[in-house]
Structure 1
Amino acid sequence: MVDYRDIPFNEVSIIKDVWERNRKFHEELSKFFKHLYSDIVFEERINGFSSFDQDHIKITLAEDDEERLLGYCISTFEGDKGEPQTLHVIEEARGRGIGKELMNRHMEWLKGNGCKTITITVSYENYNTIEFYQSMGFRPNTMEMRLK
């Protein structure tokens, strides 16, 4: 059984190990921008969320019966614009609907807070995740390109 619970921002360090797995996954996946992922530090990335008050950030954990973290999602909004900022489910727990449940909870929260525009950023090379977000109703709009 999977339990889902929201935590306040001051407890976000709970996700550090799983977040790090997500960072390493992206570092290994990226053909051209490995350095962007290898240089990210958890505390610096998370500090970027500290400007949001408790009403504008949602952090949800997915845990098993032994309270082992299986995944998480962090979403934020400003005005009528919302964004699931980071989502990760550990490899051994994938295919059980955990990511979908996390996203559904966050989409409901964003819409319930008046978000009319909800966007998500996903790595161009992360094909499985692109397909996952498309299954959730997201469609490509623009593509950012960078010099290596």
Structure 2
Amino acid sequence: MFEIEKVDMEHIDRIGPLWEKLIQANAANSPYFADYYGTFEFEIRKGFLQEKLDNGAAMYTAVLVDREKKQDAGFVTVTYNRDTSFGEIEMLYLLEEYRGQGMGKKLFKMALSCLDINCIRDRKLCVTYGNEAALRLYESFGFYPFTIDCLQKRS
């Protein structure tokens, strides 16, 4: 049995272990910057989220909980600003064992529902280059590449 639990910024550390797995998955998918992902730290990511909140954004984080296995199976985090009508799906991750069962779509729908309820018109997300499975999921909800950011790889 699965349940969704909302997590606020005060308890955001709960998603830390899943976030670490997200970063590992991004590194595995990245054909050019796997080593760069190794420099990412959850504390810094939390700081970026807090900065958005300090600047007037709101945040919604939902954790998918597998009650049978007594573990968190995935999460999604969204930030949005009602004044600018802009929202961003910041992070979405689902443990591999739960993929292909519609759980990723469920989390994504929850993110979109949050944006709908808050009348957020402009929506954005970022996908690691090479993560074709995620891109297909997002395209099924009407999200398509708009620009491609390139980083210079330096030795």
TM score, norm. by length of structure 1: 0.93
Query: How far apart in 2 are the matches of 1:74 and 1:47?
Result: 14
Equivalent position of 2:17 in the other structure: 17
Secondary structure at the aligned position of 1:23 is classed as helix
Query: How far apart in 2 are the matches of 1:4 and 1:63?
Result: 6
| 1:141 matched to 2:143 | no
Q: Which among 76, 82, 85 is matched to residue 79 of structure 2?
A: 76
Secondary structure at the aligned position of 1:50 is classed as helix
Amino acid at match of 2:65: E
Aligned-residue offset at 1:55 = 7.0
TM score, norm. by length of structure 2: 0.89
Query: How far apart in 2 are the matches of 1:62 and 1:25?
Result: 18
Give the length in aligned residue pairs: 148
| 1:111 matched to 2:113 | no
| Alpha-carbon displacement from aligned partner over 1:60-85 (angstroms, at most 9, x marks no partner) | 00001144100000000122010110
Secondary structure at the aligned position of 2:50 is classed as coil
Query: How far apart in 1 are the matches of 2:48 and 2:60?
Result: 14
Percentage identity across paired residues of the two chains: 26
Equivalent position of 1:8 in the other structure: 8
- Cα RMSD for the two superposed structures: 1.6
| 1:65 matched to 2:70 | no
Mark the runs of 5 or more structure 1 residues left unpaired by the alignment: none
Deviates more, 1:48-57 or 1:127-136: 48-57
Aligned-residue offset at 1:30 = 1.4
Query: How far apart in 2 are the matches of 1:80 and 1:23?
Result: 28
Aligned-residue offset at 1:36 = 2.2
| Alpha-carbon displacement from aligned partner over 1:28-57 (angstroms, at most 9, x marks no partner) | 221211232110011111121113169710
Moved beyond 2 Å, runs of 4+: none
Equivalent position of 1:37 in the other structure: 37
Equivalent position of 2:135 in the other structure: 130
Query: How far apart in 1 are the matches of 2:76 and 2:100?
Result: 16
Secondary structure at the aligned position of 2:32 is classed as coil
